[in-house]
């Protein structure tokens, strides 16, 4: 592109110089010949004052010395040479001057000016001044050479400026191309820098906006995949273990096993629905969901998690006041948050796990506590990648809580206690 910009600038400069130089060259030629004609006329006028009326009766006339390369001659009324350097017969230019006017011509390789000599009101002779036209042309050629030199200097300056401007114009585009290649190679942190050219700067901003949106989409997709795998892993494992246990025990009640499998399947369906809804809504508020009594949500969680804790020799207790248990909450969302907190307590906590539901009049407080301790910064524990595991669960739980209009926080580190606050009214 740089070569193209330089080429365009060079063509434009050349056209401009030609349009300027051609009239100047014509003007130089005209000016030099006009200047030389004026010099000849002045020399002829100076000679005229030396010619007296007596030369017509034979008195000698002595003309002043001419300039180098110039010839001065005096002709009588019949056009014959009387004095000076010139042809024997004056020719047409002298004839025209005998009519009383200054005459000028260029013929035979000479530039000639003839000035009439008058006495009284009668023309008695003519002063002829002549010089070689080649001398004038030499001056014209030198003038043209100077003009050509100036044009070449101007053209060189135009090329230099064009190269500089081409560099200024192409450098941001080359940088933008490099940024685009970096993004194509997978570096979504690459961003185009701002520059002083508004049009290219606008392209860079549009490119950065596109990359930002692309990065958000990819991050969104990665989060969705991670969230789905994290949330489906435990329910699927529970469903598989329940079915395998029923198959291994010949005395097991198949209806009970099928009922448990059906409940776990419904929970899986709720999990998939919640993850999809969260993925579609981004980080904003989730669309309205079916509300359930808080007590029903906790009872279902107790049925899902009582067995895993009991297998590890740990207790799971859930307490709530009847009034608090009847308050409506976004069922599927709270279900997922409780599952994440219980899974976290099961994997990383110790001792008895206590789930407490409290009515704060303006909000519901759901506490999940165990007898372990959290060594991480309470502000960083909800970031993805933090902790000893995948670092997804708590980040997803906070995202779900925020999207439902609530707030999830680490209320205590020793012992570990997470608190989910859910507003009961729209103005809170």
Q: Which pLDDT belongs to residue 319?
A: 92
Give the model's confidence band at 349: pLDDT under 50 very low, under 70 low, under 90 confident, else very high: confident
Is the same domain home to 16 and 121?
yes
pLDDT higher for 235 or 299? Answer: 299
pLDDT by residue (tens digit) across 287-315?
556 788 988 889 988 988 888 888 889 99
What confidence category does residue 274 fall into, taking pLDDT thresholds of 50, 70 and 90?
Answer: low
Tell me, yes or no, whether 145 and 240 share the same domain: no
Q: Is 225 within a domain?
A: no
Strand-strand pairing, 70-76 and 407-413: unpaired
Burial readout 150-178 (b: 16 or more C-beta within 10 A, e: otherwise): ebeeeeeebeeebbeebeebbebbeebee
Q: Among 233-237, 345-349, 387-391, 411-415, which is the least confidently predicted range?
A: 387-391
What range does the domain containing 129 cover? Answer: 2-151
Segment 9-13 mean pLDDT: 85
For residue 356, pLDDT over 90 is answered with yes
| Residues 139, 275 share a domain | no
Identify whether residues 128 and 236 lie together within a single domain.
no
- pLDDT confidence band for 277 (50 / 70 / 90): low
What is the CB-side half-sphere exposure of residue 83 using CA atoms within 13 A?
Answer: 19
Domain termination site, one of 110, 130, 151? 151
Verify that 134 and 248 share a domain, yes or no: no
Q: What is the mean pLDDT of residues 219-233?
A: 62
Question: Residue 231 pLDDT > 80, yes or no?
Answer: no
pLDDT tens digits for range 376-393: 666 777 776 555 545 567
Residues 262 and 147 in one domain: no
Q: Which residue has the tokens 């009991």?
A: 310
Asked, for residue 335, whether it belongs to a domain, the answer is yes
List the CATH number of the domain containing 270: 3.30.565.10
Into how many domains does the chain fold? 2
Q: Is the pLDDT of residue 28 over 80?
A: yes
State the pLDDT at residue 268: 67
Residue 176 lies in a domain: no
Mean pLDDT for the stretch of residues 331-343:
84
- The pLDDT score that the predictor gives to residue 340 is 84
Whole-number Å distance between alpha carbons of 232 and 222: 15
Do 362 and 245 fall into the same domain? yes
Instruction: Give the CATH number of the domain where residue 37 resides.
Output: 3.30.450.20
Q: What is the mean pLDDT of the chain?
A: 81
Q: Is 287 contained in some domain?
A: yes
Percent of the chain with pLDDT over 90: 12
Asked if residue 264 is part of any domain, the answer here is yes
Q: What is the pLDDT of residue 271?
A: 67
> At 374, is the pLDDT very low, low, confident or very high (cuts 50, 70, 90)?
confident
- Residue found by looking up tokens 């002083």 in the block: 196
Domain boundary among 96, 122, 151: 151
Same domain, 275 and 415: yes
- Give all strands of the β-sheet with 103-107 in edge-to-edge order: 81-84, 70-76, 122-132, 110-119, 103-107
Q: How far is CA 203 from the centre of its chain?
A: 4
Cα-trace Rg, the chain: 53
DSSP class of residue 201? Answer: H
Is residue 147 domain-shared with residue 254, that is, in the same domain?
no
* Most confident region among 4-8, 24-28, 134-138, 238-242 by mean pLDDT: 24-28
Percent of the chain's residues with pLDDT above 70: 80
User: Is the per-residue pLDDT at 139 higher than 50?
Assistant: yes
Instruction: Specify whether 142 is located in the same domain as 240.
Output: no
Q: Are residues 257 and 111 in the same domain?
A: no
According to the model, what pLDDT value does residue 284 have? 47
Q: Is 145 found in the same domain as 246?
A: no
Domain limit, last residue, from 103, 118, 151: 151
* 324 φψ region: left (φ > 0), alpha (ψ -120 to 50), beta (else): alpha
Q: Which two tokens stand for residue 190?
A: 């690459």
Residue 354 pLDDT: 94
The helix/strand/coil state of 133 is helix
Phi–psi pair at 313, nearest 5 degrees: 75, 30
Q: Spell out the residues 6+ positions from residue 291 whose beta carbon is closer than 8 angstroms to its own.
A: 328, 329, 330, 331
User: pLDDT tens digits for 179-203?
Assistant: 888 888 888 788 888 877 788 888 8
Which one is predicted more confidently, 40 or 221? 40
- Split at pLDDT 50, 70, 90, the class of 140 is very high
Say which range, 65-69, 311-315, 343-347, has the weakest mean pLDDT: 65-69
Please give the residue that has the higher pLDDT: either 428 or 207. 207
């Amino acid at each position: 592109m740089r070569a193209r910009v330089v080429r365009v600038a060079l063509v434009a400069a050349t056209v401009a110089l030609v349009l300027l130089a051609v009239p100047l060259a014509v003007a130089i030629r005209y000016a030099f010949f006009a200047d030389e004609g004026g010099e000849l006329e002045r020399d002829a006028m100076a000679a005229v004052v030396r010619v007296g009326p007596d030369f017509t009766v034979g008195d000698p006339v002595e003309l002043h010395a001419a300039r180098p390369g110039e010839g001065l001659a005096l002709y009588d009324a019949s056009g014959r040479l009387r004095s000076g350097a010139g042809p024997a017969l004056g020719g047409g230019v002298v004839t025209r001057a005998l009519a009383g006017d200054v005459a000028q011509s260029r013929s035979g390789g000479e530039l000639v000016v003839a000035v009439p000599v008058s006495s009284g009101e009668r023309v008695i002779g003519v002063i002829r001044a002549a010089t070689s036209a080649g001398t004038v042309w030499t001056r014209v050629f030198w003038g043209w050479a100077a003009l050509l030199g100036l044009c070449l200097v101007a053209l060189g300056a135009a090329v230099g400026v064009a190269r500089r401007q081409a560099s200024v114009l192409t450098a941001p585009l080359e940088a933008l191309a490099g940024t685009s290649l970096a993004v194509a190679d997978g570096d979504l942190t690459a961003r185009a820098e701002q520059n002083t050219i508004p049009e290219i700067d606008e392209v860079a901003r549009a490119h950065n906006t596109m990359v930002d949106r692309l990065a958000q989409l990819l991050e969104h997709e990665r989060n969705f995949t991670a969230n789905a795998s994290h949330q489906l892993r435990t329910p699927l494992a529970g469903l598989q273990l329940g079915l395998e246990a029923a198959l291994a025990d010949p005395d097991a009640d198949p209806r009970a096993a099928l009922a448990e499998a059906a409940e776990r399947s419904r929970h899986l369906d709720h999990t998939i629905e919640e993850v999809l809804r969260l993925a579609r809504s981004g980080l904003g508020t989730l669309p309205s969901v079916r509300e359930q009594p808080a007590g029903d949500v906790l009872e279902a969680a107790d049925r899902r998690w009582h067995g895993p804790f009991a297998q590890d020799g740990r207790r799971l207790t859930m307490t709530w006041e009847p009034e608090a248990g009847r308050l409506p909450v976004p069922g599927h969302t709270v279900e997922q948050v409780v599952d994440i907190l219980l899974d976290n307590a099961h994997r990383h906590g110790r001792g008895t796990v206590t789930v407490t539901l409290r009515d704060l009049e303006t909000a519901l407080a759901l506490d999940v506590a165990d007898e372990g301790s959290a060594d991480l910064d309470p502000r960083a524990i909800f970031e993805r990648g933090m902790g000893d595991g995948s670092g997804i669960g708590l980040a997803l739980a906070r995202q779900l809580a925020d999207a439902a209009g609530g707030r999830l926080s680490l209320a205590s580190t020793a012992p570990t206690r997470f608190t989910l606050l859910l507003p009961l009214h729209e103005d809170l």
